[in-house]
Structure 1
Amino acid sequence: MKVRGERECQQCGTRWSYYETGSIECPECESLRSVGLNDRTTHTDTPVKLDLSAHQSRFGEAHETLPKDGVTELKTDIREYTRKRGFIRGGELLTLDSAYLAARELLEAVDIYDRIRDPTDTEREYLFSLLAGAADGVRPPTEDVPESLRKARGMATVHAVEEYRRDLLVYLDELESREVSDDTVSSETDRDAVGETVKRDSDTAASRSSLAQNVLEQLRDRTKRVEALGGDVSPTDADALVNAANAIGEFIRNGDDIALTRAQDTLSEQSI
């Protein structure tokens, strides 16, 4: 969606950033009457933190099976967090960050773990390590993911990469629209100054979009394969998809050809 990020309260005059608070309510007087001060910009990310402290305390007392109510509440909190998250903040393209990835993996892992009749110490250590670090974006190392739980990382990658891919496409549309608008203004300025329209190179965003979308299709193809396998791929392959997604994001953000090549190479080396 597009929002006017800089707000001013009509009641008390306080100014604040919607991008930082995620609310049109005045932080000083709580009035809902405010006006936007800047142009609308694309914004998909809501400021939100994942608080897992209560779940850490509750699950820390569980030595084998997890408390049923606790599992349900944990899933609800994680889903609420991921629902509010996005990767465009005030027109700025973000990375597919570790906090979002960890939350996605924890959601998948607790579901799988809860169905294991007699979890091993290794499985339990993995889950609790993930629970302890997810809020800070810390996940267990790739080599520490148990075979029985590698589907969690695989499916977390599928969902996270797909959400990121959607925002990348939104951002590309925004880039192209912005360039068309800028070119229109530039053409009018040149016409006024010189008496004729000066032809300008206006295909930068369009070219970037075309190149990026080709690789995004390859990325989508790989994630669909992982999804078809129920996430049952090596954690190394799953992590590679995340790296490719972030490399594409870097290219879209900065026009870095090296990043695009890195993404293409990563995807071509995939065994899935």
Structure 2
Amino acid sequence: MTRRKSWMLCAALALAGTPAAACPDPALACQVKGGAYHIALPEGTTGPVPALIWLHGLGGSGASSIRAATVAQPFLDRGWAVIAPNGSPMTTRPSGYRWNFSGRGDDPRDEAAFLDAVRADAVARFGIDGARVVLGGFSNGAFMATYVACDTPEAFAAYVPVAGTFWRPHPESCQGPVRLLQTHGWRDTTVPLEGRPLRGGRALQGNVFEALGIWRAANGCPRPDASFSAREGSFLLRRWSGCAPGTALEFALFDGGHTVPEGWADLVLDWIETRGGS
């Protein structure tokens, strides 16, 4: 089996206390309290490996998102595991899932506790390095990752949301320090940079630039303007420095819409290795 085809997935057995076996069927997932997750492991590595927990978008699933070429494969190629949990089941889409960020959904599941259980289970079953787990997500999954970063920044080594941030009203403040790389498309009309009203104005997406101000305050950054601005491949980068120890804050803008762009995974991995501090 080649590294590119290295998919290791597990399914919990029905009897309590019976350890789950590794299963080659991508339709099966590891069961933990509150839900399930899929995991892909890199080949040819020894010892504990770092991991990306990737949260799917609205209506997606862990099974589909773990096969996303722009996300999973680059991480696997560089020796990372990729973990893709399922959100809470949707009533409007029988096969779809969603993340009830900031208590906005009607599902009683504690999403932050569920994600903590996913990490703990992956550490126990697959030898994941619990201190080097990064949380990211796309759209609805990015909303979820953002609120976890705000409430409990110490829960994960770093945060890498794509195409999603806070909703209004924005939080007055967030905990810190946090290591966060925000990515967004210039032409995103689903989650515009400035946000947009939904449900007849009863809900309003947040503003990415205002969110960056909240993160700067949490990180104790002395100035609102970025200390570094440059183009790296297809990305325009802005970085803030001189902030509190243990922090990292960067914004990556690309000329595209509501998507995870090509090259995003390598951008994130380079950031983690040089500035993200995982």
TM above 0.5: no
Q: Which has the higher strand share?
A: 2
Larger Rg: 1
Q: Which has the higher helix share?
A: 1
What is the TM-score when the length of structure 2 is the normalising length?
Answer: 0.27
